[in-house]
């Protein structure tokens, strides 16, 4: 078929290329939310919006709407805190007033190895993020989009990692660049010093 999938019709049912039935293979491409497109093959056309339940969650609740709808803001107190930058006093659903902390977490993972994440973040599951005992699939994933390092080769003392809910891990340098943290916070001598005006 023009889309690249194999035709599931019989030879007699498709006497010419123009007589092929529409492709019935599920698209399977990833939406930005992480869900796969369930629509039947639509070649190079853009995928329709995702209609699955939203995956966004916080320590207090899970978003109750579909992926295409805006998430309602959580009004509980923010729980993000660390020993270096303190607490955030704002509600959970708004950007934190607390400055990011780039120091490596001192806690131990359940496997007994030191946490590779940053202070103040939830420690990840070792199967996805520990250089010593993660599954080979995760060890071979690139965590640094600056140096193109894989998890198995990266030193989290140089740039700790954050493991996302999709189980991919990235260095804080990579995520800071992707989310353009320098447009929100001022960094001097490798330390976040204050928020920038909007």
CB 115 within 8 A of CB 169: no
CA-CA-CA-CA torsion sign (162, 168, 171, 172):
negative
CA angle 176, 87, 71 (to 5 degrees): 60
Residue 43: DSSP 8-state: T
List all residues 6 or more positions away from 42 whose beta carbon is below 8 Å from its beta carbon: 27
- Name the band, by pLDDT with cuts 50, 70 and 90, for residue 196: confident
List, in order, residues 6 or more apart from 158 with CB less than 8 Å away.
none
- Over residues 28-51, mean pLDDT: 87
DSSP label of 181: G
pLDDT tens-digit map of 140-189: 999 999 889 999 999 999 999 999 878 899 999 999 999 899 898 898 98
Q: How far is CA 155 from CA 115, 127, 175, in A?
A: 12, 17, 16
pLDDT one-digit tens code per residue, 57-89: 899 999 999 988 999 999 999 998 888 888 999
Give mean pLDDT, residues 85-112: 91
| pLDDT (mean) for 34-53 | 88
Enter the DSSP assignment of 154: -
Q: What is the pLDDT of residue 13?
A: 62
55, pLDDT greater than 90: no
| Of 25 and 149, more confident | 149
pLDDT at position 117, please? 96
> Are the beta carbons of 181 and 196 closer than 8 angstroms?
no
């Amino acid at each position: 078929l023009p889309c690249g999938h194999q035709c599931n019709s019989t030879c007699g049912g498709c006497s010419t290329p123009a007589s092929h039935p529409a492709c019935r293979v599920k698209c399977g491409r990833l939406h930005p939310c992480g869900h796969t497109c369930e629509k039947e093959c639509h070649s190079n056309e853009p995928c329709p919006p995702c209609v699955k339940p939203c995956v966004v969650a916080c320590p207090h609740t899970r978003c109750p709407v579909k992926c295409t709808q805006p998430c309602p803001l959580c009004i509980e107190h923010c729980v993000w805190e660390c020993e270096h930058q303190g607490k955030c006093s704002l509600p959970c659903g708004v950007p934190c007033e607390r400055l990011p902390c780039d120091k490596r977490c001192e806690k131990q993972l359940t496997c007994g190895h030191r946490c590779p994440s940053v202070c103040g973040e939830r420690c990840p599951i070792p199967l996805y993020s520990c250089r010593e005992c993660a599954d080979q699939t995760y060890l071979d994933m690139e965590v640094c989009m600056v140096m193109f390092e894989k998890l198995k080769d990266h030193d989290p003392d140089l740039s700790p990692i954050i493991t996302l809910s999709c189980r991919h891990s990235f260095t804080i340098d990579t995520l800071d660049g992707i989310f353009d943290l320098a447009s929100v916070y001022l960094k001097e001598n490798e330390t976040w010093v204050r928020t920038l005006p909007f």
